[in-house]
Structure 1
Amino acid sequence: MADAVIELAAHAEVEPATVARARFVRAQLAERRGQRDVAIAEARAALDLATSIHGDRIGEDVSAWLREHGAG
């Protein structure tokens, strides 16, 4: 599902918060699969998107996740 949202974002107007959330979900899924490097890369990509979003918690959530995993 997250992959589909990110793919749609490349071809349509999708809110940055939606894409950031999708990338964050991919980060969490990668972590569960034991793919720490992939998880951190996805979370950082989500955080990059989230920095342009005002009034949304996604940036805070991703930052907290990165800190918990020693990458933020």
Structure 2
Amino acid sequence: MKRVLITAGAAGIGRAMGTAFAAAGYEVWVSDVDAAALRACPEDWQRREAPADDEAAMRDLLAEMGQL
């Protein structure tokens, strides 16, 4: 399965990107600092509260995805 991680992806352009990737058959992982916006994302998306500028948080997220 193809996978995509979209940072700051719970709303706006990021959310639109997630929707497009999901429609194309990707497993969507999305991170954002807005917990409420993350909860509003589709339930089949993997949602994580993490700031994109936090190197340790992103490394942990990539490890969780099996990408490290």
TM-score by length of 1: 0.33
Higher helix share: 1
Over alpha carbons, which structure has the higher Rg? Answer: 1
Higher strand share: 2
